[in-house]
Amino acid sequence: MDIMGSLALALAVLGCIATVESRSVRADRRLARVERKLDLIMEHLDLREEYPRMDEVAALVREGKKIHAIKVYRESTGAGLKEAKEAVDRLG
């Protein structure tokens, strides 16, 4: 009986984890759709999101300090590594 009880408990926990993960994935997809829509609205209205320290990022790129520029860009914008690298590459 102990083994069956433990197995049932383990299955219940795994089921809960799968449910939470599924909800998280759906929430991430919905958030991505909302962000895309906001980006389109901003583009349509010709609005640009201003980030602090972009002058510093541009100066670091001019100085050839690309890695440091990526780090400052990420700190300033909250962007991921790939997005920050692409943005810094566009500046240079």
Residue 31 has pLDDT above 60, yes or no: yes
State pTM to two decimals.
0.53
Label residue 1 by pLDDT band (50, 70, 90). Answer: low
Q: DSSP 3-state assignment of 85?
A: helix
For 37-91, the pLDDT digits (tens) are 999 999 999 998 888 899 999 999 999 999 999 999 999 999 999 999 999 999 8
**How far, in Å, CA of 64 to CA of 49, rounded?**
25
User: Is the C-alpha dihedral spanning 75, 81, 86, 91 positive or negative?
Assistant: positive
pLDDT of residue 4: 85
Q: Which three-class secondary structure string do you get for 23-68?
A: HHHHHHHHHHHHHHHHHHHHHHCCCCCCCCCHHHHHHHHHCCCHHH
pLDDT of residue 11: 86
Pairwise pLDDT comparison (19 vs 73), residue with the higher score: 73
The residues spanned by each domain of the chain are 1-49, 50-92
